[in-house]
Amino acid sequence: MKPSLTSLITDETAADALPMRFTVAAILIAIIGILIASSVLDLMSTARTHEAQTEISKVVSNAEQMSVRGAGSVVTLDIDIPNDVTVVLGALPEDGDAWPRDIGNYYLQSGSERKVYETEAAFSNFEMDGAVELSEGPHRLTLESVYNSNHGRVFVLVYETKDDRVV
């Protein structure tokens, strides 16, 4: 039997389940929205870390070449560390005052995520007493290779210069 137009308008048997359907649909849409937002935030963090790794690879590749050539080289580089990223050269995370033991390591920190890398270069700050920490933003870095007779190896000093002064 084919329903008539008046029976379709006046029949309310399916109306009882309609609020439940809307509730289930709203919950599913909210869950999907949360998953999408989480994925986008993770993708942005990965992009920042990749961009920072690209920038810091300029420093690392130059430092490794300077280490192989020996003392006496000076290179100036302009790099831009992305927002919410910190780079530490010559140290490992959570390792405190382990310099000079960790001079051949560096790490990138983006939020709570840390990525550790190893290099042939031995990093030091300008005073030759610790690691180098670079925060977000543009930096004009000077890399200088010097021989340290106390440790018996070539160190690459990494320091920031502004108006021809060490910062």
What is the predicted pLDDT for the residue at 49? 86
Strand order from edge to edge, sheet including 85-89: 113-118, 105-110, 85-89, 132-134
Q: Would 142 be classed as within a structural domain?
A: yes
Structural contact between residues 91 and 107, judged by C-beta atoms closer than 8 angstroms: yes
**Which residues have a Cβ under 8 Å from the Cβ of 113 and sit 6 or more positions away?**
45, 49
pLDDT by 10s per residue, the chain, length 167: 566 666 656 666 666 667 888 899 999 999 999 999 999 988 888 888 888 899 899 999 999 999 888 888 899 999 999 988 999 988 888 776 677 777 888 999 888 888 999 999 888 888 888 888 999 999 999 999 999 888 788 999 999 877 666 76
What is the predicted pLDDT for the residue at 45? 84
Can you give the residue range of the structural domain that contains 63? 40-166
Q: Would 58 be classed as within a structural domain?
A: yes
Paired strand residues for 151: none
What is the predicted pLDDT for the residue at 96? 65
Q: Would 122 be classed as within a structural domain?
A: yes
Give the SS3 label for residue 1: coil
Q: Would 74 be classed as within a structural domain?
A: yes
Q: Would 52 be classed as within a structural domain?
A: yes
- pTM for the whole thing? 0.73
What is the amino acid identity at position 19?
P
Q: Would 146 be classed as within a structural domain?
A: yes
Residue among 82, 90, 78, 77 at smallest CA distance from 53? 82
Encoding tokens for residue 63? 């430092």
Question: For the chain, how many structural domains are there in total?
Answer: 1
